[in-house]
Structure 1
Amino acid sequence: MMEDREKRHKTQSKGHMGGGPAMGRPVEKAKDFKGTMKRLITYLRPGRVSLIVVFIFAILSTTFSIVSPKIMGKATTKLFEGIMGKRSLEKLLPQLDTLTKLSKNPETATPDVANSISAVNKKISQIMSLNGGRIDFDYIARIVLILIGLYAISAIFAYVQQYVMAGVAQKTVFNMRKDVDEKLSRLPLKYFDSHTHGEILSRVTNDIDTVSSTLQQSLTQLITSVVTIIGIIVMMLTISPILTLVTIVTLPLSIFVTTNIAKRSQKYFADQQNALGRLNGHVEEMYTGHKIVKAFGHEQISIGEFDDINEELYNVGWKAQFISGIIMPLMNFINNIGYVLVCVVGGIFVTKGRINLGDIQAFIQYSRQFGQPIVQTANIVNILQSTVAAAERVFEVLDEVEEIQDGDATQVIDSPKGEVRFKNVNFGYEKEALLIQDMNVEVKPGQTIAIVGPTGAGKTTIVNLLMRFYEIDQGKITIDGIDIRDLKRGDLRNIFGMVLQDTWLFNGTIRDNIGYGRLGATEDEIILASKAAHADHFIRTLSEGYDTILNEEASNISQGQKQLLTIARAILLDPSVLILDEATSSVDTRTEIYIQKAMTKLMQGRTSFVIAHRLSTIRDADIILVMDKGSIIEKGNHEELLEKGGFYADLYNSQFKGARLEESAM
């Protein structure tokens, strides 16, 4: 039990522990990545035009964003040139005045002075022709306006891209959910018997949500990241191939450090998930069995087990988080080394006039941005792996073998009488092991048939075969002479009404739960059904009466009251054939009397199949079928079977003696 819970919780707990980058986490991989990816793409195919728009707009948005730093660098260069020109004029003009005075004095008017005046005038002319010795704010303003325009266009493209992608993603997931929902309605009961509810729910909710979030976010992020990497490299090359080489030199070091740390953290993350699964399993087990734990005084043992698992989770958890958490600091350290190298080499180039200051500023921005899309792309690749694995689990549901289709079933029973026959029926849940062999039973309309026997004898299997939840291997089952395989499943099941041991009530009013038996039932019909089921009295004692809201597990009413509501629902349906499966096995004696009265009322004039362990409740049955190991070993009414002194007599007497022993003990 504990191991099953651990396995379930290992799956459920993935991705729920906060901490380091996703790169350090264990990645769930698909069994057939290519095949599943192709199949996922088929779901995207109806929106291929929108996807093309998304791709184009993502490229344009990223391109406009990438170009901006270089254009901003032009403004920086112009500002720098204006400031330097102004400062140069402030130095050159006094120098020119001094030289002019010297040239006018015969004593100091030498050729060197004339040459110096010529050189200064030349520099002044260059400055005046360049920017007039002032900052060109008009040019800078134009650059700023261009940048605002670029960023605005980039934002608009990004908005449209996200808007269109949201529509594509949601439409894709809508179709996927629709297919899964329709598939679940076509799956045989065998599938639900062999898979836990939690597993099925996880596939149709969590896994589809994973696909949805990836399509919505990660797909566009992947496009943006790839375009950003390519665009940044191109822009850096246009500025300086040498500086680009300096930046890329640090890339192998980043990859080496990241992959090595990721490998180390993988082990700890795996251990963390295992410990978390066991911790969740322990907590759930102790919570659901809280009364038993307290009754046997095992609180301290439970706390001790929790502390041990919690300590293990702490030890592996902090290691996993710490090791994966140092990835970003190390990445920043390596990026800073590249940043320093770019600044030093770039500074040298500026002083030598090989590159403009604004270009260096733009290059530094590009180099700072260079590492981010690389890490982002690696993370998205991991996310895609998990997404394809999630999609694969969804497709596994869609690939399950469906119920045999109704096909040419055209027979309809307009007024069912309730005559049921089993003719040479063979059936096994597994092909190799037959559970029911050569069963022959004839039930006349209005008869009550009780089915008794030990656990696993095949009692509930008969119900499953009658309702065509499972298909028989050989033989034939007929209702009013018509093979049930010649009837549509919906028409067949409308003939039956069921009251099971496990009551099923949904979150809603008592009125809605009873009315579930027949759509469109009036208030008076619901009340009459409740009175017939002996449920009306307790319903009216509730504060809201028939408007009382039952919670999800209907725990705000008792077990017996739940059963009475399910009987009222069956009475409202007014079925031709009634199936009662252990309907009184989990209620007290007083409530059992009410339920027996309600069931007697319900069974009047109807063919009824009653499965019971308490043999005292089926003494009045017309036929009692005694089953063992899938075969009917005895058949007859109560008196006939007691006279035989066989299996039924032993079973009945053992229950009777047990009851007598209980009475004498009291």
Structure 2
Amino acid sequence: MKTHTFKRLLGYLKGHRLRLFFVLLFASVSTIFTVMAPFVIGKVTTTLFDSIRDGVFYWETILWLLAALVCLYLISQFFSFLQGFHMAKVTANVMREIRSDIDGKMHRLKLNYYDTHTHGDILSVITNDVDTINNTVSQNLTSIVTQVITAIGILLMMLAISPKLTIIPIIMVPLSLLSAAGVMKSSGRHYEKQQQLLGQLNGYIEEMYNGQQVVQTFSYQDRAKRRFSALNDELKHSSYKAETTAGAVSPITTLVNDMGYVVCAVIGCLSAIGGRITVGNVQAMLEYTRRFAEPFSSLAGMAGSFGAAKAAGDRIFALLDAEEELPDAEHGIIPKDRSGSVAFQNVQFGYTPDRLLMNGVNLTVKPGQKVAIVGPTGAGKTTLINLLMRFYEINGGAIMVDGVNIQD
């Protein structure tokens, strides 16, 4: 993904710094209490083993530990709810701002933008692409924060229990990330193509739907079906490649992390037998090792979602960055003598800059004259009138009305 696309998307969050601060705060508190739970469970296990060894059941200690465990989970879920509540507010406001920006841009776009882009493709940007961004922000943005804090919290707990055993999952993490990096890059390309094809398909459907009379009049049904099938099949293959490639990330990272879990289990058990670590701490380390891999597997599994968001963001910002209609002159000139003369002076025009349809057109219509513009379809009759009405900006020359340039 182009990094500037991510930066621009994150720019929409700047106006919600305070609420995002609370999201981060609540996510941090929720995660901290969740991370502490395996350590308490390990203490319960150690106390049970001590009870068996000593022949005395330590009811009071176990009950206090279980009560603490329940409190940890309750507090964690409470702050998790607050985090989700505030994040939903942020997401809704960000999506409203993006839609408002697109709506405002639509009224400022040059008319030739609508000639070079199908209506269905434009609608796909406004609906499908915006919804894709919405899903990514609402579902994954909070998850990123939670997973990062979880990884840091678990790392600190593992270091507190056994620095030596902590080395194992730390080694496995970069191996896991490296194995997923190439797959994520490939899936991003497939998702970009998928969004482009989706826009093309929507544009074709809209064109065929609105032109159904013409399609039937000229018996174009069979060719229309073949064209639709070709686009539909191409979209199917692109979507299949994108989802399959992205889906391979999580199994790869999980396999690497599971290998680390097995190594940690073997070394932990041997250390417990040798009396260098308690059974409860081994249990806690194994749980932390498994959980330590989860944030990285989860982040890697988001590759598909971020790949789709990348393509959607690129298309949205391509629309927002499109060339706008030139504004009217701040102090427009009103002709003193409104006689009705019109003159095209060496006018050059093309719907795209690299392909001129008119080059060096000169035409003068004197006041009171009636001029008929005739020619075959595509000769430029309507275009000539559209230029006079300034629906499009010319590439060169000037159009004068009563001696005043229409751009003035």
1:247 aligns with one of 166, 169, 189 = 169
Deviations 1:319-366 (A, max 9, x none): 987787666555544444333333332223323332222222211111
1:135 matched residue in structure 2: 58
- Aligned-pair distance for 1:382? 6.3
Q: In the alignment, is residue 85 of structure 1 matched against residue 44 of structure 2?
A: no
* Matched ranges for 1:54-453 at <5 A: 54-86=23-55, 133-136=56-59, 138-251=60-173, 253-255=175-177, 257-259=179-181, 262=183, 292=219, 328-329=250-251, 331-380=253-302, 383-384=305-306, 386-408=308-330, 420-430=340-350, 434=358, 437-442=361-366, 451-453=373-375
Q: CA 1:212/1:306 → structure 2, altered by over 3 Å: closer, same or farther?
A: closer
For 1:396 and 1:264, how far apart are their aligned partners in 2?
A: 21
- Please report how far the alpha carbon of residue 50 of structure 1 lies from its aligned counterpart in structure 2 after TM superposition: 1.6
SS in 2 for 1:451: coil
Between the aligned partners of 2:188 and 2:306, the Cα distance in structure 1 is 21
In 2 relative to 1, CA 442–164 (structure 1 residues): closer, same or farther, beyond 3 Å? Answer: farther
Which AA in structure 2 matches 1:82? S
Q: Answer whether contact 2:48 2:57 (CA < 8 A) is retained.
A: no
The 2-side partners of 1:340 and 1:230 are apart by 22
More helix by share: 2
Contact 2:247 2:301 in 1 (8 A): no
CA distance in 2, matches of 1:191, 1:317: 28
| TM-score, normalised with respect to structure 2 | 0.77
Contact 2:187 2:307 in 1 (8 A): no
> Deviations for 1:148-168, whole angstroms, at most 9, x for unmatched residues?
222222222222222222222
Q: Which runs of 5+ in 2 are unaligned?
A: none
The residue identity in structure 2 corresponding to 1:72 is: I
User: What SS does the corresponding residue of 1:170 show, helix, strand or coil?
Assistant: helix
SS at match of 2:364: strand
Residue 535 of structure 1 corresponds to which residue in structure 2?
none
Please tell me whether the aligned partners of residues 226 and 377 of structure 1 are also in contact (alpha carbons under 8 angstroms).
no
Is the counterpart of residue 51 in structure 1 residue 20 in structure 2? yes
How far apart are 1:79 and its partner, in Å? Answer: 2.6
Q: Is the 8 A contact 1:435 1:458 kept in 2?
A: no
Q: Does the CA-based 8 Å contact 1:443-1:449 persist in structure 2?
A: no
> Could you say what secondary structure the match of 2:358 adopts?
coil
| C-alpha separation in 2, matches of 1:293 and 1:442 | 46
Contact map agreement 2:345 2:398 (CA 8 A) in 1: yes
Number of residue pairs matched by the alignment: 389
Q: Deviations over 1:233-261 (max 9, x none)?
A: 2111111122222333444554455457x
Q: Distance in 2 between matches of 1:64 and 1:484?
A: 69
Match of 1:475 among 390, 395, 399: 399
Give the SS at the match of 1:151: helix
Name the aligned partner's letter for residue 392 of structure 2: Y
* Counterpart Cα distance in 2 of 1:402 and 1:295: 39
Amino acid at match of 2:57: R
C-alpha offsets along residues 118-138 of structure 1, whole Å, 9 cap, x if unaligned? xxxxxxxxxxxxxxx2231x3
Question: How far did 1:45 drift?
Answer: 1.6
Aligned letter for 1:173?
M
- CA distance change for structure 1 residues 419 and 176 in 2, over 3 Å: closer, same or farther? farther
Which position in structure 2 is the counterpart of 1:119? none
8 Å contact 1:426–1:434 — kept in the other structure? no
Alpha-carbon separation, structure 2, partners of 1:457 and 1:233: 72
Q: Letter of the aligned partner of 1:427 in structure 2?
A: V
Q: How many angstroms apart in 1 are the aligned matches of 2:220 and 2:329? A: 54
- Unaligned runs of 5+ residues in structure 1 are 1-28, 87-132, 487-666
Q: What RMSD, in angstroms, separates the aligned Cα atoms of the two structures?
A: 4.4
Q: State how far apart, in whole Å, the 1-side matches of 2:189 and 2:20 are.
A: 39
Instruction: Verify the 8 A CA contact 2:176 2:256 in the aligned structure 1.
Output: yes
Give the TM-score normalised by structure 1: 0.49
Q: Is the 8 A contact 1:423 1:440 kept in 2?
A: yes
Counterpart amino acid of residue 182 in structure 1: G
